[in-house]
Structure 1
Amino acid sequence: MRNPYSALLNHMRTQGSKNNTPYVQIGLVVSLNPLTLKLGDLQIGKENLLAADYVLPNYERKINIPTTPASGSTTEGSVTSVGVPDGEIKFTDGLRVDDLVALIPTLDEQTYIILAKVVSP
């Protein structure tokens, strides 16, 4: 005799798991050009990846370091203040082969987002 509640319970499990929040996974950078990651046995190419901008090479940010008093001298004379009121900083490094990255899949699990490079403390 078949349990009449089995089908209902299976349906509830399937439907309940549909909207679970995706979980963070750890991927390994296996190639940079083109960017390719390995997640377990799954190889993920750049067409299925999005990345946080700061993990990519040549990432630029605008900076503003307010002028502050300073003392010192140069060959041109004395220094009385330093600051960078409107500048840019460029990080030339990015991901490297064998780096570990935190990945999260989109809900359909067709695209993975690189959240950050991760390291062991």
Structure 2
Amino acid sequence: MKDPYVELIKLIKDRGADNNPPSIQLGTMVTSTIVKVGDLQIDGDSLFIDEYWKGKLNKGDIVALLAMEDRQTYIILSKVVRM
């Protein structure tokens, strides 16, 4: 018999995760139009970028990204560097 409290907590956790906005992530530019976030490579068809950065990002650059609500499309917010 399943513990109803465990099931309730699991349900609350799952529903809460569905409604949380995505967090800002760091990615590394693989090419000037492909960014790698963890094991996922995102290409230009799924990326949006401020016009200022177009043509200015290079392989190895670290960028801050934000996933859109569909979690399939990403916005590159900025190039970032360590201090």
Say which structure is richer in helix: 2
Say which structure is richer in strand: 1
Alpha-carbon separation, structure 2, partners of 1:19 and 1:27: 23
Identify the residue that residue 42 of structure 2 maps to in structure 1.
44
Offset at residue 13 of structure 1 (A): 0.9
Q: CA RMSD in A?
A: 1.3
Cα distance per residue 1:52-103 (max 9 Å; x no partner):
222113xxxxxxxxxxxxxxxxxxxxxxxxxxxxxxxxxxxx1111111001
Where in structure 1 do 4 or more consecutive aligned residues deviate above 2 Å? Answer: none
Offset at residue 40 of structure 1 (A): 1.4
Gaps of 5+ in 1: 58-93
For normalisation by structure 2, the TM-score amounts to: 0.88
Identify the residue that residue 13 of structure 1 maps to in structure 2.
13
For normalisation by structure 1, the TM-score amounts to: 0.63
Q: Are 1:96 and 2:32 matched, yes or no?
A: no
Gaps of 5+ in 2: none
Offset at residue 108 of structure 1 (A): 2.1
Offset at residue 15 of structure 1 (A): 0.8
Q: Aligned residue pairs: how many?
A: 83
AA matched with 2:53:
V
Offset at residue 106 of structure 1 (A): 1.1
Greater radius of gyration (CA):
1
Identity among equivalent pairs (%): 41
